[in-house]
Chain A
Amino acid sequence: MSERRDFFGKALGAFAGLGALGALYAAKRTWDPLPSVKAGGFTTVDLSAAQENVLNTEMWRGKPIFILKVPKDDKQAYENKRLITVGGDKFLVAIGLCTHLGCIPAYFGEEHKFKCACHGGEFDAAGKDIKAPPPSPLVIPPFKLDGKKIVLGEEGPEYKKMKADGLVA
């Protein structure tokens, strides 16, 4: 007798649990980033007016993005495979956050170097880490080339290739 009672009680409990799962799914979706936030995750930058060795900082997904037209006479940086070729010029397009602990390094044009004030780390004009403590080069964000424009946030074919070659992180 009491087993029957217990069975119905348990059956009800299990079914209510299903409902709770549904409610939890709805709650999870409420926490999701809003569509307008996700849509804002694309920034287009026009590279045609960029001047050599002059750092341009853009904003993408709230983070600073370094855009630098690398000077041809900086041999070491110019040969770096992490640079993006646009119309005969080579560009550094990287997230401007030091790969050590996330401060924003400053660009010293004469020395062709990024220097991070927080712990003294340094990157060359191609974003390669040249002085500790940063453990890796500046991160390349997903990008897509569109003529002289670059769309940050979209994974174009050039980005996919660089990613496959381990050149973005």
Chain B
Amino acid sequence: MAHFDNAFPFSEKWLDQRLAINTLKRVLSTEYWIPKNINFLWAMGMILAATFGLLLISGIFLLMYYIPDTSKAFDAVNYTIMSEVGYGWLWRHIHGVGASVVFLIIYIHMFTGIYYGSYKKGRELIWLSGMLLFVSFSAEAFSGYMLPWGQMSYWAGMVITNLFSMGSLELNGIVEWIRGDYVPGQAFLGRFFMLHVLLMPLLIMALIVLHFGTLRIPHVNNQDGEEIDFEEAAALWKAGRRKESKVIPFNPVFLSKDVFVMGVYFILFFYLVFYHFEFAMDPVNFDPADPLKTPAHIYPEWYFLWSYEILRPFSKDVGLIWFGFAQVIFMLLPFLDRSPYVAPANRRRPFRCWFWLLLIDMVTLTIMGKLPPTDPTYAMIGKIAAYTFIILWFALPFITMKEKLVGGKK
């Protein structure tokens, strides 16, 4: 039984006796040790949390006026919310731009992890929980895109659910089961509304908690991949020898850098929200859904283009197999990388080449995914890029087995 002596109600001492707020403060904030040797890329996690927060809040206001009915959804968004609701247009723009920009930050965050080797030697679950977050955000983005019920909503819904027929297996029953109907209609809209507004957000929030939890014991990585004795470094800091210590406390030191980077991010973010949003709010989706007319060009949102492009160069079944491969292969990174070294890519040979090739390949796949497949040049480049992707992943175990580490501290 804990000790509850005199303390003024709701004072710090009183709360600490009942909720251990001082312990929480130490563990989560003032004595949560982060390596000092970091750069601004380490702030991407917090930027993701902030962007998710913006999406949640803007989503709450949109939810007040959205109507998940195929005959009313388009006008609920484009008339009621955009012109009648006070600042409705602001929430919609924040939500649309946020949904697109969050993926830019996710990719930067992911590739930071790949570059610095932050997925191995105790950090495998951080990587895996992060990849599960990527999948959940993808599902959240896809389900959300259905809701305005524009032309792209309808036809993207049609095309992506068609994938589940599994090519030559022709599992049309499964496709109809997923849709709740032969084509995307009221049943389809209703269930994707449920997924977008309730199930996926809950899952994402649980995964974020897991992601933070998996980070606690291995600790955040640093620019050199150095294995730090956190106890020793923490003792140095607490003794006042801050310059010598290799760590900083999350609050206020790491937080101050985080918040500064966030500020820069918000300047760019709100510039996009107010002045430059068509990349996120595609004009095609401002045509109401028409089951009898396919748009001249159907394409997914930019963040799905790279895996969409892996589907395209091959025949139906082969394409589906490689598409499935692309979805899961990133999860296997900690296990395919056979090298024991945690170090930035520029010090790992030949992983250094692998990293930049992968990055350039993903950008190429993304751009090719948007270009019309009828052009032979684009088709050829897309095919080469798709093969490169596959070969890179198969090659990874082999090139990391014989890895050579260069430079760095001895």
Residues of A within 8 A of B (CB): 5, 9, 12, 26-27, 29-32, 34-36
Contacts and interface: CB of A to CB of B under 8 A. Distances in A.
B86 A29 contact: yes
A30 B87 contact: yes
A36 B84 contact: yes
A4 B17 CA distance: 32
A24 to B, nearest CB: 11
Contact of A35 (B84, B90, B91): B84
Interface string B129-146: 000000000000000000
A29 B89 CA distance: 12
A32 B259 contact: no
B61 interface: yes
Nearest to B263: A12
Given A5-B252, A26-B90, A27-B61, A34 B84 contact: yes
Interface in B79-118: 80, 84-88, 90-91
Contacts of A5: 252
B75 to A, nearest CB: 12
A34 B85 contact: yes
A29 B84 contact: no
7 contacts: A9-B252, A9-B256, A12-B259, A27-B87, A29-B86, A30-B91, A36-B84
Q: Size band of the B side of the interface?
A: 10 to 19
Contact of A26 (B64, B87, B259): B87
Contacts of B61: 27, 30
Contacts of A9: 252, 256
Nearest to B62: A30
A30 B87 CA distance: 6
A35 B259 CA distance: 39
A30 B88 CA distance: 6
Contacts of B84: 34-36
Nearest to A5: B252
B336 to A, nearest CB: 43
B259 A29 contact: no
Interface of B: 61, 64, 80, 84-88, 90-91, 252, 256, 259
Contacts, number: 26
Nearest to B90: A26
Contacts of B259: 12
B377 to A, nearest CB: 48
A26 B256 contact: no
Nearest to B260: A12
A30 B256 contact: no
Contacts of A26: 86-87, 90
A32 B256 CA distance: 37
Contacts of B91: 30
B17 to A, nearest CB: 27
Nearest to A32: B86
A31 B86 CA distance: 8
B245 to A, nearest CB: 16
A29 B256 CA distance: 32
B365 to A, nearest CB: 38
Nearest to A37: B84
Contacts of A12: 259
| Most chain B beta-carbon neighbours within 10 Å: one of A26, A32, A36 | A26
Given A27-B61, A30-B88, 19 more contacts: A5-B252, A9-B252, A9-B256, A26-B86, A26-B87, A26-B90, A27-B87, A29-B86, A30-B61, A30-B85, A30-B86, A30-B87, A31-B86, A32-B86, A34-B80, A34-B84, A34-B85, A35-B84, A36-B84
A32 B85 CA distance: 8
Nearest to A27: B61
A29 B252 contact: no
List of 10 A-B pairs having minimum Cβ-Cβ separation, nearest first:
A29-B86, A26-B87, A34-B84, A30-B61, A32-B86, A29-B87, A30-B86, A30-B87, A30-B85, A35-B84
Nearest to B83: A35
Contacts of B88: 30
A12 B88 CA distance: 28
Contacts of A30: 61, 64, 85-88, 91
B395 to A, nearest CB: 48
| Most chain A beta-carbon neighbours within 10 Å: one of B87, B88, B259 | B87
A12 B258 CA distance: 13
A31 B252 CA distance: 36
Contacts of B256: 9
